[in-house]
Amino acid sequence: MTEFEVRAQDGRLHFTRYYPHGTARVWRALTDNAELSAWTPWRMRVDTVPGGALSVAFGRGKPSKGEVVTVEPERRVVWRCYGELLDWTLAGKGSGCVLSLDTTMADPGHITHSAAGFHISLDNLALVLDGRPVVKATSPPKEPRFPDLVRHYETALLVP
């Protein structure tokens, strides 16, 4: 089980999760195209260098383009896509790793849906890191847990 924290403020989401894997292993899951596509709900291609290209595609839709803003190997990577900034930071903790995600929402009105989607993705990341199979829905809203997680985050994040 992973330690977990999430909070929202001013249209930003902050997630913190502990994984019982070293930073090098978690870094690979954040930067390797095959691994990213295994735990996120979209197909991803990323060139993990500052200014590198980022491509994100849901289902069979046309990919959206983004860019890699910051890279500090095995510590931090920042992406810009869909008008949002996703800042992933790793810190060693014992034999494991704390992953923090700070994201600035393009539309703060979708914060509970985004929180539910990231929650599912971070759960899937734990499976990938453990070498277990991931069964994904074609999009986050089609994931069976999605509606319950949205309701959970409406309460947890105090969203009316």
pLDDT tens figures, 30-45: 999 999 999 998 889 9
Length of the chain measured in residues: 160
* Residue extents of the structural domains in the chain: 4-156
Q: What percent of the chain has pLDDT over 70?
A: 94
DSSP state of 105: -
Helices 146-156 and 111-129 sit at what angle, rounded to 10 degrees?
120
Task: List the chain residues with pLDDT less than 50.
Answer: 1-2
Upper half-sphere CA count for residue 3 (Cβ side, 13 Å): 10
- Tell whether pTM > 0.85: yes
How confident is the model at residue 10, as a pLDDT?
76
Token code pair at residue 16: 């913190």
Measured CA to CA, the distance from residue 22 to residue 82 in angstroms comes to 30
So what CATH class is 4-156? alpha beta
